[in-house]
Amino acid sequence: MCIFPKEIKFIRYTSIGDIMDTTKNTKKIAKIFKKITTWQQKVVKLEAKEKKNNLDEYKINKLKEKITLYQKLSETYNEQGNEAKVKRAIIKEKHKRNQILYGNITQAIIIICFPLAVYALFNSFYSLIDSIMASRIKSAANASGVINISNIMVISQIKSMISAFGAGIAGGGAVLVSRYYGAANITDAKKTGSNMILVSIITSLIIIVLLVPLAPVILKIAQVPQISNSVILYFRLILVELIFVSINNIFIGLEKIKGNSKKILILNITVLIIKLILNVIFVFGIKVDSIIYLEIATIISQAALFIYSCFIMFSKKNMLQISFKNMRPQSIYIIPILKLSIPIFLGKFVMSLGKTTVNALCGSYYGEATNGLIVGALGVSNNLSGLVTSTTNVFEEGESTIVSQNIGNKNLDRTISAFIRTLAIVAIISLIGYICVRFIFIDQLTALFSIGNKESEKMSLYIKEIFVYDSLSIPSLGLTSALLGLLYGYGKTFLSSILNFSRIGIRIISLVVCHSIGLNYTAAGISMGISNILIGIMALCFLLFFLVNLKKKGYKGLYLSQKKQSEN
């Protein structure tokens, strides 16, 4: 059985461009009908089987789903102009939404999360490369360049504290948009997204106005090892960068909701390439003498993504289109955004504040004995762990998107399936990653910071000794990320905040105790490992508490085992 176009339309051409577009469209239609014919032949064969198993039924449903999608797409190629392109974009996005709500859930997790995980891995490698480049920048005040690593690592935690505002808005708002999107309420999804942009812009401007004048004071309180005019300017440039980053985070969150993970991967890798090329030019070409050029490269790359994201978000083709009309402040959208965003912000802020406090304590306890290198070594050790944990954290974000949309679609059973399968994937990645960075590649990774002088060799040694203990946190952070994805999806941001508060409290207490009993700088890594392992145990307790409550009380009138359709 073969499907042919229902009718052939005679189109009146107005330009050579129209004729060329029509020629292209004719070729695309031919390819589409060739695919449809092949799929229909497969459906006929499967349906002709006398004894069909569950896998056969699944294949038949998926093939029919593809046929319907491509039939709808083929009809749009008979039309001319931008309206046809908009229709095609909306049809494709609806298909991705259906995959999240009704398709194979493991496949949905992989489709959404895998491209983002690849990006996170690239980004973690780049953070290491950034640190290595910083160590190559020499000045009159910093002959070896190694102290730059400590400066950057301390400031990066301050940056994380400040960027928690934008991350909270993007995270909390995305949960709401996901629910509207899952319930097919596109109007409220658009208005919520537009109000997210408004809140983010206002917050970013307030932060810049308040913190730019206070930059020297903030750096002094955080105990940045070497405060100079270039370091102060570096921090102020970071505040400018965060305007672009906050909007870009919202754009990425909205694209993730629509299942456009591949696009996000390509865009983020492009940003990394731009940044890397500029850094190579600055450090090895021009041979700059200040770390501010590393931040200038970051601003340029983020600004490029910002320009593209604005073009996409305001486009008519965008199913979640942002508009200035919808950007007017509306309490019915802003208040729910803030209710979900503030706990997420507090969790991320406190976590970064705790790391900043740990850095300050380490600098106070062991800075003199290590010539100020301990803070940099601790930061690099965190980045080594981040090669794995940043990848698993991506599954937390993807899982929360899937959970939120399925809550909007009134299917709680599917949210638990999403959690279980996310947990299994994250556990495998965590185990393999831990073995690789802790045992197989540890010598090669730490050797990157040894550039032939005594200070760099010491730095390499400190990193390795701290990482032995710090790496113990990798498996527990994997478990925690899967749980947080479930909690964020259900809007239980208060529980997630408790986990983050507890992690920091335990880390600081364990560091103080380790120092008081006379342990050396390795206490920095030991405190990280202890806190994250204990938080992993606490996360298990939270999970049991949440699941029992969900089973007994349900969620907003919904209960488990009330399936809308069979699980794939």
H/E element, 325: none
CA–CA distance, 112 with 101 (Å, rounded to integer): 13
Q: Which one, of 365, 292, 293, lies nearest residue 518 by Cα?
A: 365
Provide the β-strand partners of residue 555: 558
Could you tell me the sign of the dihedral formed by the alpha carbons of 97, 101, 104, 106, in that order?
Answer: positive
pLDDT at 247: 94
Q: Which residues of 391-401 are buried (b: 16+ CB within 10 A; e: fewer)?
A: bbbbbbbbbbb
pLDDT at 564: 44
Round the CA-based radius of gyration of the chain to a whole number and report it.
Answer: 26
pLDDT at 23: 67
Could you tell me the sign of the dihedral formed by the alpha carbons of 50, 55, 59, 65, in that order?
Answer: positive
pLDDT at 143: 46
| Identity at 420, one-letter amino acid code | I
pLDDT at 80: 66
Which tokens go with 432?
Answer: 């393999």
Contact 396, 485 (CB under 8 A): yes
CA–CA distance, 256 with 119 (Å, rounded to integer): 13
3-state helix, strand, coil in the chain (%, to 5): 80, 0, 20
Could you tell me the sign of the dihedral formed by the alpha carbons of 530, 533, 536, 538, in that order?
Answer: negative
| Residue 79 CA: distances (Å) to CA of 20, 93, 407, 447 | 14, 19, 36, 60
Helix (H, G, I), strand (E, B) or coil at 558: strand
Helix (H, G, I), strand (E, B) or coil at 555: strand
Which tokens go with 5?
Answer: 């176009």
Residue located via tokens 């208060």: 494
Full-model pTM: 0.74
Which tokens go with 346?
Answer: 């507090």
pLDDT at 195: 94
CA–CA distance, 162 with 238 (Å, rounded to integer): 10
Three-class SS of 129-159: HHHHHHHHCCCCCCCCCCHHHHHHHHHHHHH
pLDDT at 14: 46
| Identity at 421, one-letter amino acid code | R
Contact 104, 58 (CB under 8 A): yes
The total number of residues written for the chain in this structure: 568
Nearest 5°: phi and psi at 558? -105, 150
pLDDT at 145: 62
CA–CA distance, 393 with 481 (Å, rounded to integer): 6
User: How crowded is residue 537: how many other Cβ atoms within 10 Å of its Cβ?
Assistant: 11
CA–CA distance, 361 with 359 (Å, rounded to integer): 5
DSSP state of 15: S
Q: Which one, of 480, 526, 484, 487, lies nearest residue 507 by Cα?
A: 526
| Identity at 137, one-letter amino acid code | I
Contact 69, 91 (CB under 8 A): yes
Residue 311, classified by CB atoms within 10 Å of its CB into exposed (0-12), middle (13-18) or buried (19+), is exposed
Q: What is the mean pLDDT of each run of 10 residues along the chain (568 residues)?
A: 42 48 74 87 88 79 82 78 67 75 85 82 76 73 66 84 88 87 84 94 93 93 85 94 92 85 86 91 89 92 95 88 90 90 81 81 84 82 87 87 88 92 95 94 82 77 89 87 90 79 86 91 86 86 92 89 48
Instruction: Please work out, in degrees rounded to the nearest 5, the angle formed at the alpha carbon of residue 382 by the alpha carbons of 474 and 295.
Output: 140
